[in-house]
Structure 1
Amino acid sequence: MTSPTPPAEPTYADRTFRSSAGIVGGVLLLLLICWIGGDALFRGHGRVPWQALAGLLTTVPLVVAFTLRPVVLANEQRIKIRNPFRTITMPWTAVADLRAGYSSELFTEDGTKYQLWAVPVSLRQRKRAARQQSRQSLDDPYGRTSVHADVRDSKSRKATADQAVEDLRTMAEGAKTAAAASAKSSQASSASASASAASSVSVRWAYEVIAPAVVGAVLLVVLYATG
């Protein structure tokens, strides 16, 4: 008699947070670098092709790292932060707070801080959102719905980074509430749960970005030193 197949683990779709302006800027910058570097690589003479190759090896990975690579992936169980040179993965129970000041930041239970490169803070956007909220309050000082206000436009009155951090904070609070209820039903201690959450934070360095950039920089130094 065959044993019953265990049920598959539930999968949760990741919600993606990233900067569309950074992606557009990165693509344009890569096209410009490849155009200039490719022209020097194939049409240059003497040491110019080698210098162009070294320059491409140095700049292309760095541009990709700071523009195309950053992303925040979040689901009901964990958050994954892909920064230029590191990828940090942790469960929501390891997250203590999320803030958006001059940059978006995540704080773990043990006090470690990680920046969210994929959620850049725009002070101009924040000031514009504050002006919209101020105009709305002046238009309706008693808190009633104004005839000029669009009640469906509540999220547009927040800066993109502030809204993203608020959404992530809501996801974290929901996951922590579910984890607390599960721990209470299983009579697990909160101290052991916090310790296991802190130990489950994983950090991986992006050697696929660091290695070619370092090789290109060393090659550039050698070429200019021996030139």
Structure 2
Amino acid sequence: MTSPQQPAEPSYADRVFRSPAAMVGGVLLLALITWICGDALIRGEGRTRWLALAAALLSVPLVVAFTLRPAVFANNDRMRVRNPFRTITLPWAAIADVRAGYSSEAFTKDGTKYQLWAIPVSLRQRKRAARHQMRKAHDDPHGRTSASADVTDSNARVAIADQTVADLRELAELNAARPGAQGEPQLRWAYEIIAPAVAGAALLTVLLAIG
């Protein structure tokens, strides 16, 4: 007699962590590049058009790489870190720690460090959170707070990057033993970013060299 099949564990969509400020800045920069280079391509003549094309080939991938591309995707099995020029897939079992110092970083058990570009550390936010905690401690030295105050002030107590890193660290600790969370880190270079940027840089170098 065969035993009943065990139900599969539910799978959940990835949680996505990005920098809103970087995304807004990236969109504005792309709009500026489109306006400047587009105008040069339409109204320019001869060498000007080639210079505009080379500048666009070089600048657009770099802007995308450092503003729109960075993201961290996390689910029950692994964390996928999309940095400017490469993507790192880290199963939870391979992660030793996730920290936020002057930058957000993930450390694997073999000692390798990977920076999390999508989670920038804001020292201003951290200082604001520290001032808030000191003010609360001064107002009530015994640390008594109401439930409504906890909900209202929760975002002000911890900097966004510190809270995000704490969430990722908790996910790593909770899911490290899962069968699907085993394995080694995997790296993939973002050739879709690197190739056009290199082509634009080469074309721009040639155009400037020949005058």
Gap runs ≥5 in structure 2? none
For residue 130 of structure 2, what is the aligned residue in structure 1? 130
Deviations 1:143-199 (A, max 9, x none): 22269x7111324311110000000001011012x44xx7xxxxxxxxxx9xx63xx
1:211 alignment partner, one of 182, 191, 195: 195
Preserved CA contact (<8 Å) 1:65 1:85 = yes
Matches of 2:14 and 2:95 in 1, distance apart? 17
Q: How does 1:1-227 map to 2 (within 5 A)?
A: 10-145=10-145, 150-152=149-151, 153-176=153-176, 178-179=177-178, 197=183, 200-227=184-211
Matches of 1:43 and 1:6 in 2, distance apart? 67
Q: Secondary structure at the match of 2:80?
A: strand
C-alpha deviation, 1:107, in angstroms: 0.3
Q: Secondary structure at the match of 1:99?
A: strand
Matches of 1:127 and 1:120 in 2, distance apart? 15
* TM-score, scaled to structure 2: 0.92
Preserved CA contact (<8 Å) 1:140 1:146 = no
- CA change 1:111–1:39 in 2 (3 A) is same
Gap runs ≥5 in structure 1? 183-192
* TM-score, scaled to structure 1: 0.85
Matches of 2:198 and 2:6 in 1, distance apart? 47
C-alpha deviation, 1:87, in angstroms: 0.3
RMSD value, Cα: 2.2
Preserved CA contact (<8 Å) 2:128 2:156 = no
Preserved CA contact (<8 Å) 1:95 1:108 = yes
Q: After the TM superposition, which segments of 4 or more aligned residues of structure 1 sit over 6 Å from their partners?
A: 4-9
Q: Secondary structure at the match of 1:72?
A: strand
- CA change 1:35–1:122 in 2 (3 A) is same
Matches of 1:224 and 1:5 in 2, distance apart? 68
Deviations 1:81-121 (A, max 9, x none): 00000000021000000110000000000000000000000
Preserved CA contact (<8 Å) 1:139 1:146 = no
C-alpha deviation, 1:5, in angstroms: 10
C-alpha deviation, 1:12, in angstroms: 2.1
- CA change 1:121–1:143 in 2 (3 A) is same
C-alpha deviation, 1:62, in angstroms: 0.2
Matches of 1:78 and 1:146 in 2, distance apart? 37
